[in-house]
Amino acid sequence: MPLRSVEFHPEAVDEAAAAHEWYRVRSEAAAQAFIAEIDHAIQQITDDPNRWPKHSHGTRHYLLHKFPFSVIYHATDTVIQVIAVAHGRRRPGYWKTR
C-alpha cells in the first residue's frame, strides 16, 4: 500500500489550534490530551482511510473518543486532505464549502 501524505486545510489548522487553546486555558493536561488524540486520529486515518464512515461531499469522518470533535477528511491514493477539525455540536456542515 502506498504511503499517503497528509495535508491540512488552513482553517482545519486554525480550528485545532483554537480548540487546543480553549483546553489549555482550562487544563494543560487536557490540551496535551487533545493534541495526542488528534495525532492518533491522523495516524489511524493514514493507516486505513476507508475504515471510517462516509460523510457529505465525498468526505469521511473520524470521531475523537475523548473530545467532541471529528476529523473530516478526503482521501485519495496519494494524499489525505484534512478538511476540518469540527466540533460535534457547532454549526454542522459549515466546512462543506472548503
* pTM for the model: 0.86
pLDDT in tens, 14-54: 999 999 999 999 999 999 999 999 999 999 999 999 999 88
Q: What single string gives the DSSP state of each residue in 61-95?
A: EEE-SSSSEEEEEEE-SSEEEEEEEEETTSSTTGG
pLDDT at 84 (0 to 100)? 95
Q: What is the mean pLDDT of residues 74-89?
A: 92
Contact 62, 45 (CB under 8 A): yes
Residue 88: the pLDDT is 83
Burial class (CB in 10 A: 0-12, 13-18, 19+), 78: exposed
* pLDDT recorded at residue 95: 67
In this prediction, residue 5 carries a pLDDT of 93
The SS3 call for residue 48 is coil
CATH number for region 5-88: 3.30.2310.20
Burial label, 98 (beta-carbon count in 10 A; 0-12, 13-18, 19+): middle
Using alpha carbons, select from 74, 79, 46, 48 the residue that is nearest to residue 59.
74
Residue 60's Cβ-side half-sphere holds a number of Cα atoms within 13 Å equal to 18
